[in-house]
Every structure is written in C-alpha cells, then in structure tokens.
Amino acid sequence: MSRSLIPTPGQTVGPFFGYALPFAKGGELVPPGSPNSVQLHGTVYDGNGTPIPDALIEIWQADENGNVVSETGSLVRDGYTFTGWGRIPAGNTGKYVFTTVNPGATEPGKAPFFAVAIFARGLMNRLFTRVYLPEDSEALEKDALLSSLEPARRKTLIAERLADGSLHWDIRLQGEDETVFLDFNSEA
C-alpha cells in the first residue's frame, strides 16, 4: 500500500534572534575608522511603516577590488582579515549599522552590490535581496536585475550616499516602497 506523506507546515522564524545568532563585532567587516571604511545603515520597517526591533540582517560582499573573499573566520573578527560577511540584529528602534568597505565590481562594467538576507518575526523564510552602490549609473542601467524592474521598484535596491560617505538603505518588508525580494533556489 502506497502512502503519501504530508509536509510539515512552515513555522515563523522568530523573535529569538538575540540568542546565539548575533556575535561580537558581527557588523564590523572592517574595524570602524579603517582606511576606506564605510557604514551601510538603515532601518527595517514592517508593512505599517513601524520599525522592527528584532530583525536580523546578514550581508555578503566582494572586497574593494571586486574579489569574492574566501577567508575563514567570519565569526571571529581579528581586526585585519576581511571575510566579506556580517550579521547583526536591528536595534530597539529597528536600526542597523555595518562597518565595511564599498564592494568592487566582480567583473568590468558590472554594478557593485551587497547581497542581503533578512530574518524577522512573522516571516516563514528569510528574505533575500541586494543593495547597490548609487554612483555608477551606467552599470546600474545595464544590471540584469535592476533593468528587469520598473523604475519605482528599482529604487528600493539602490542605497543613498550621504554627505559623510555612508550608505543609507532602509528595508521595507511590505507596503508602500516595499523592498524588492528575490527567490532563492538552493538546488540551482
């Protein structure tokens, strides 16, 4: 007799991120004040525009020269090894800050970006997206992902460079100006 199995329903992922997932200096891909360091910062908002105080944000990126880093030791920050990965919780006001470097283009003419994952209460699965540097408008125009989006949606993936050199990028999980999120297929 053949029986079919019924999948277990999904569960939301949180809010328990403060236990075991954050680690010391998780947002410091380079030490603050390092030459060429930059801050990537913003706020995580829910569908009502309310900051989410217990989201967890991860970034992956190339180094300044566009090299995808393969160094080990991401969980132990030694102050000089750039691993290209960071993880931090949003603060009580939904704000997050990474200290890193501007990622370089991985190929000539390609738009540099940070790969981002967001975990938050109420989500069945983490969300994946990108945040692009705003300066190279030609590369941004040619980017396959960005060019596939309407201009109003495209802007949700481009950071704003502030006068102090930092990058401001808010994450909106739903509602007006919702951030574009990507499908992730681990079998591909």
Please check whether residue 120 lies inside any domain of the structure. yes
CATH number for 108: 2.60.130.10
Please check whether residue 29 lies inside any domain of the structure. no
Q: How many domains does the chain have?
A: 1
Site of tokens 């990028």: 169
Please check whether residue 31 lies inside any domain of the structure. no
Please check whether residue 30 lies inside any domain of the structure. no
What are the angstrom distances between the C-alpha of 30 and each of 13, 36, 41, 64, 76?
29, 9, 15, 12, 12
Please check whether residue 100 lies inside any domain of the structure. yes
Please check whether residue 76 lies inside any domain of the structure. yes
Per-residue pLDDT of the chain (188 residues; tens, 9 = 90+): 567 877 766 655 555 555 567 778 889 999 988 889 999 999 999 999 999 988 999 999 999 999 998 767 676 777 778 889 999 999 899 999 999 999 999 999 999 999 999 988 877 788 999 999 999 999 999 999 999 999 999 999 999 999 999 999 999 999 989 999 998 766 55
Please check whether residue 118 lies inside any domain of the structure. yes
pTM: 0.86
Which residues of the chain form beta strands (DSSP E)?
37-45, 56-61, 85-89, 95-101, 113-119, 127-132, 160-161, 167-168, 171-172
Please check whether residue 165 lies inside any domain of the structure. yes
